[in-house]
């Protein structure tokens, strides 16, 4: 079976890409739609084509999301400027036991997106929700509020890096089917660049994604994978972002007018397509701390919006305000699992003989990393687990305040998850470089780069467990999910260990 990438590559080789990539310049909405169907896309019935979602659970509140888009890939939606949207929340899937309802005006100014912060809900409960507009009803979504007080167990997942052109979202299909309290998206929700890796192919696509309409169409295409819509409808999401929601490796310090305009368009489209609790579509506030009862403090970081350029002596990845907030949170941390939602790798990844693999990640912000991790050590904050995406491969690392000093104490664990679809290095690269990375990084315990999927975490007061869930083949939309390996962190003991049952599973590096 061909995946989307193979289909596009074949079309490009035949010189016919313009008729295949759905967002190519010059296609009519109908042609774009047909091209998307050829790549496995489909949408919910209009006007709720993009599905429904919920996010940012608090003990008494979740945000409900939808967007009206009768023609998802069109530059303009055939809708009045204002469309009234009704919403309701119930305690049962049939929506008979209604607990809240209301109506909101959706506006073309925000792409007819709807963000409803529902309040007055009960903690630790499952709810169902539905929208109606223009005489039509959306599908029913399921959500969950955060609990308060003692919690004996939580089960959640992370997803990251879901290049539409790289495959089907079998991983999201797996997430949708999991019994979970919530999902965290670690970023690279869309990719702004062309559809295939080869530069000659990208040239065929025409202008890059720059305008608000471009970014809206990109998000609408991604929501055309039914598994992604199913995952959103099944679970509430906490979200951060990485670079590709705007453009590769960007930092907030590029103040040129075209870039500022482009970034504003990207931020707004991201907001319009996701269940974000925010006062501003143009500068969404992502960093936040959320509690899942007594068990977890979730610290969601935004490592893009406020960063400086990389490799500067006084550089920052957090920005001054977020850094102060993080340091204060470390000082005031209660006894709970301290889980950081971290879009890009925190742990050092040094090359043999000096330098780093990528300085777009925390390796490009050395002084700030030392300051933050030194503060964790100095304040004695325990039970730190960092959840990371971006790398398109799985890593497990011990976190040390000084990665160059192997006698400095282990103060936490970083789990870097496989990507949903975005291309990893080749099996040959992984086989050759897994041991090289392991040798140059004594804190690196595990590396596996040949697979795609998502992580599921099972957390109790005694133990934090990470299951690496992998799909068989990203070319298959219904590829089955299996557990590749499982790692544990015991409460009060920094450092992870692999479950004895899975230590024989395939990996390109495993510290003996």
| Interface residues toward Fe ion, by CB under 5 A | 161, 188, 422
Contact 383, 399 (CB under 8 A): no
The CB-of-392 to Fe ion minimum distance in angstroms stands at 6
Q: Which is nearer to Fe ion, 344 or 411 (CB)?
A: 344
Residue closer to Fe ion, measured from CB, 8 or 161: 161
Distance of closest approach, residue 179 Cβ to Fe ion, in angstroms: 27
H or E element in which residue 8 lies = helix 4-13
Q: Which is nearer to Fe ion, 360 or 398 (CB)?
A: 360
**Beta-carbon count within 10 A of 427 CB:** 11
Q: What is the dihedral of CA 458, 459, 463, 464, to 10 degrees?
A: 70
Cβ(445)–Cβ(396) under 8 Å? yes
**Contact, 467 vs 458, CB < 8 A?**
yes
Distance CA 304, CA 306 (A): 6
Count CB neighbours of 331 within 10 A: 12
Q: Residues 6 or more apart from 431 whose CB is under 8 A from it? A: 508
Instruction: Please identify, using beta-carbon distances, which residue of 345 and 381 lies nearer to Fe ion.
Output: 345
Cβ of residue 422: shortest distance to Fe ion, in angstroms?
5
Q: How far is the CB of 421 from Fe ion (least distance, A)?
A: 10
Of 44 and 188, nearer to Fe ion (C-beta) is: 188
Question: b/e map of 84-120 (b: 16 or more CB within 10 Å)?
Answer: ebebbbbeeeebeeebbeeebebeeeebbbbbbebee
Q: How far is the CB of 162 from Fe ion (least distance, A)?
A: 8
Choice between 305 and 422, CB closer to Fe ion: 422
The two tokens of residue 270 are 């991201």
Q: How far is the CB of 456 from Fe ion (least distance, A)?
A: 20
Q: Measured from the CB of residue 171, what is the shortest distance to Fe ion in angstroms?
A: 14
Closer residue to Fe ion, CB minimum distance, 151 or 161: 161
Considering beta carbons, is residue 178 or 188 the nearer one to Fe ion? 188
Beta pairing partners, 83:
106
Of 161 and 269, which has the nearer Cβ to Fe ion? 161
Task: Kindly state the helix (H) or strand (E) to which residue 447 belongs, with its residue range.
Answer: strand 444-448
Q: Which is nearer to Fe ion, 161 or 318 (CB)?
A: 161
**Dihedral over Cα of 299, 303, 306, 309: its sign:** positive
Contact 50, 223 (CB under 8 A): yes
- In the sheet with 394-399, reading across from the earlier edge strand, the strands are 288-292, 296-300, 337-342, 384-388, 412-416, 394-399, 444-448, 509-510
Q: DSSP strand E in 250-368: where?
A: 288-292, 296-300, 337-342
What's the min distance (Å) between Cβ of 46 and Fe ion?
31
**Minimum distance, C-beta of residue 206 to Fe ion, in the bound complex (Å):** 23
Least distance (Å) from Fe ion to the CB of residue 355? 22
């Amino acid at each position: 079976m061909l995946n989307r990438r193979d289909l596009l590559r074949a079309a490009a080789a035949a010189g016919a890409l313009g008729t295949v990539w759905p967002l190519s310049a010059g296609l009519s909405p109908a042609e774009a739609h047909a091209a998307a169907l050829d790549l496995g896309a489909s949408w919910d019935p209009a006007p709720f084509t993009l599905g429904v979602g919920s996010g940012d659970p608090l003990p008494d509140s979740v945000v409900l999301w939808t967007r009206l888009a009768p023609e998802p890939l069109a530059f303009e939606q055939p809708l009045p400027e204002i469309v009234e949207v009704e919403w309701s929340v119930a305690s049962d899937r049939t929506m008979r036991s209604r607990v809240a309802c209301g109506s909101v005006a959706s506006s073309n100014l925000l792409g007819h997106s709807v963000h409803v912060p529902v309040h007055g809900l009960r903690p630790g409960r499952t709810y169902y929700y539905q929208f109606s507009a223009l005489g039509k009803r959306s599908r029913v979504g399921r959500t969950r509020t955060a609990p308060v007080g003692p919690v004996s167990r939580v089960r959640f997942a992370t997803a990251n890096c879901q290049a539409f052109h790289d495959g089907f979202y079998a991983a999201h299909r797996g997430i949708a089917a999991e019994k979970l309290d919530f999902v965290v998206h670690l970023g690279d929700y869309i990719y702004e660049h062309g559809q295939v890796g080869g530069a000659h192919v990208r040239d065929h696509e025409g202008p890059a994604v720059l305008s608000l309409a471009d970014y809206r169409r990109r998000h609408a295409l991604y929501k055309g994978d039914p598994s992604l819509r199913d995952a959103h409808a099944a679970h509430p999401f906490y979200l951060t972002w990485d670079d590709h929601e705007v453009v590769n490796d960007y930092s907030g310090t590029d103040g040129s007018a075209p870039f500022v305009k482009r970034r504003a368009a990207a931020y707004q489209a991201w907001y319009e397509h996701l269940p974000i609790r925010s006062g501003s579509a143009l500068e969404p506030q992502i960093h936040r701390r959320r509690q899942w009862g007594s068990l977890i403090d979730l610290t969601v970081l935004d490592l893009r919006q406020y960063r400086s350029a990389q490799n500067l002596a006084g550089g920052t990845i957090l920005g001054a305000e977020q850094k102060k907030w993080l340091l204060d949170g470390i000082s005031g941390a209660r006894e709970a699992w301290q889980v950081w939602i971290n879009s890009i790798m925190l742990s050092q990844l040094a090359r043999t003989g000096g330098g780093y693999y990528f300085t777009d990640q925390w390796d490009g912000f050395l002084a700030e990393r030392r300051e933050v991790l030194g503060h964790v050590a100095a304040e004695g904050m325990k039970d730190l687990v960092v959840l990371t995406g971006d790398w398109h491969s799985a890593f497990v690392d011990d976190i040390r305040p000084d990665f160059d000093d192997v006698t400095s104490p282990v103060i936490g664990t970083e789990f870097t998850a496989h990507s949903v679809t975005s291309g990893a290095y080749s099996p040959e690269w992984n086989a050759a470089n897994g041991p090289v990375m392991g040798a140059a990084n004594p804190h690196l315990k595990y590396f596996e780069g040949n697979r795609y999927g998502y992580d599921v975490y099972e957390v109790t007061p005694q133990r934090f467990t990470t299951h690496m869930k992998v799909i068989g083949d990203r070319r298959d939309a219904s590829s089955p999910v299996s557990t590749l390996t499982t790692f544990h962190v015991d409460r009060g003991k920094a450092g992870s260990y692999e479950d004895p049952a899975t230590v024989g599973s395939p990996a390109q590096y495993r510290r003996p």
